[in-house]
Structures are given as C-alpha cells and as structure tokens.
Amino acid sequence: MFVDIDPVTFNLDPNRIEAAITPRTTAILPVHVYGNPCDVEAIQTLADNDNLRVIYDAAHTFGVQDQGGSILRHGDLSVLSFHATKLFNTCEGGAIICPDAKSKLHIDRALARRAEIAAHYREAIDNIPGLACVPNAGQRIANHAYFPILVFSTILMRSPSRMSITTRNGS
C-alpha cells in the first residue's frame, strides 16, 4: 500500500502509515531519502504494534549516523545500493545489513534453500548429454545467485518431450 511522504523531509510520513496497514500487510518499506534518516522510532513502534517487519532502503544513508550510531542498525534489514550514482559505488551491486542473529539466520536459511535447489539442478543436468554445469570455483560457500549451463554444439535432442537444440548451421 502506498503511503505519502512528509513534505519537509521527503521521507515516509509515519503519521500516515497506520491508516494504510491492512490484515495483509507484512512489512513497512521506508526509504531514507537524500541522506536524511526516516523517523525510525515512530516507524518501529508502528511495526511492533502490528507485528510487521521493517526493511529500509538505505541506499542514500551509507555512513549516516544518529545519536546511537549507524542508521543501518534500525529495522529488520537495511538494504544498500552500490550503483554508480550512489555515494560509494562499484558500478553495480548492493548489501543487506541485518542487525540481529534472527534476521541473519533467516537469510542463511534462504541461502541454504538455494544451495539445495542448485544441487538438485546439478544432479538432473549431469544426466543430460551435451549439457554441463559450470563447476564451483573453489569458494567455501556459494550464494547460488546464478546458474549458468554450458550447452555443447554436439547436442541434438530428438525426444519429442524435449526442446531441440541445434547449432547455427542447422546440424
């Protein structure tokens, strides 16, 4: 549900959040705009009252601190962007900051599930002639964000239940 901003700070207006919360609401997604932090205490109070998560878009607040320290310590998660237009950049990418062990455990479980799915794919693809998975590059823990598959030019599947793959010359 959309909630309008405070016309002075340009951040999400905490006074308008409560009216937008419905039984289907699971999280509040405020944005710290132009390096100015949201009213994190008011937003957290609203979230606690309705058992909601708070996930901050903190792309503009890299390095910003309030009286208690880094603004990134607030909410269940804070998400940073390292896009070329941000204060600190790597051309692309980002980071998720989680201030507590419970949030980190949830992220770790999601990554473990991705590993299970990748293992299932690898097992299935190992049995298909002409296809191969890119091998692990030696990392201790992978995030399984991508799953490239090598398709060799010799592959031609003739089974009607599978898609035919041919080389450019039609063979």
CA distance 29 to 47: 11
Q: Which two tokens stand for residue 57?
A: 């878009």
Pairing of strands 27-28, 69-70: unpaired
Pairing of strands 77-81, 94-97: antiparallel
Residue 80 backbone phi and psi in degrees, to 5: -110, 150
CA distance 136 to 152: 19
Active site residue 102: no
Catalytic choice (86, 106, 122, 144): 86
Q: Which residues are catalytic?
A: 86
